[in-house]
């Protein structure tokens, strides 16, 4: 699972008994390189191949269209890994956003507490929407956190 909890954002839950592997591809501040992200996806694919277990990768990031990232995500889904990606929060069509535009990825847009699209959530061929603001969760300083429709953008890093 490629995931993060930077900026107190909750983006993934885990089934009891499931194995979890956090693959750090970005710094604690959310910066990093496209090559690190692709390398992380390749590592996930190899772990999936050797384990033979059902696998899910969660990528809470988005940015300008990238053939390299799109190909890595497509390769991962073709190997049998379910890949969940952020639609992004640029209020634009995902046709120009990676990895949201990868057809085999499960692309998630963000909704308000009233179950309406958040104004900045990207549009287009989005698989599903999920709450993306004022999420109730446990924490040591707050009972709510922001959602994960686009925690990070890799472009310009």
Over residues 79-99, mean pLDDT: 94
Q: Is the pLDDT of residue 66 over 60?
A: yes
- Global pTM reads 0.78
Report which listed range, 16-20, 95-99, 137-141, is most confident: 95-99
Q: How many CA atoms lie within 13 A of 20 on its CB side?
A: 12
Considering the domain 20-153, what is its CATH architecture? 3-Layer(aba) Sandwich (3.40)
CB 1 within 8 A of CB 25: no
Q: What integer pLDDT is reported at residue 26 of this predicted model?
A: 84
Higher-confidence residue of 109 and 27: namely 109
Taking the domains of the chain in order of start, what are their residue ranges? 20-153
In three-state secondary structure terms, 111 is strand
């Amino acid at each position: 699972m490629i995931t993060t909890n930077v900026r107190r954002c909750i983006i993934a839950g885990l089934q009891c008994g499931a194995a979890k592997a956090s693959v750090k591809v970005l710094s604690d501040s959310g910066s990093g390189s496209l090559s690190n992200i692709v390398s992380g996806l390749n590592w996930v694919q190899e772990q999936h191949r050797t384990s033979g277990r059902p696998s899910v990768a969660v990528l809470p990031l988005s940015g300008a269209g990238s053939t390299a990232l799109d190909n890595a995500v497509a390769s991962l889904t073709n190997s049998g890994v379910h890949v969940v990606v952020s639609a992004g929060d640029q209020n634009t069509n995902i046709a120009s956003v990676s990895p949201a535009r990868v057809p085999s990825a499960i692309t998630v847009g963000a909704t308000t507490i009233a179950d309406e699209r958040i104004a900045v959530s990207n549009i287009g061929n989005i698989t599903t929407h999920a709450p993306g603001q004022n999420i109730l969760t446990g924490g040591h300083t707050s009972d709510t956190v922001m959602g994960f429709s686009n925690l990070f953008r890799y472009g310009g890093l």
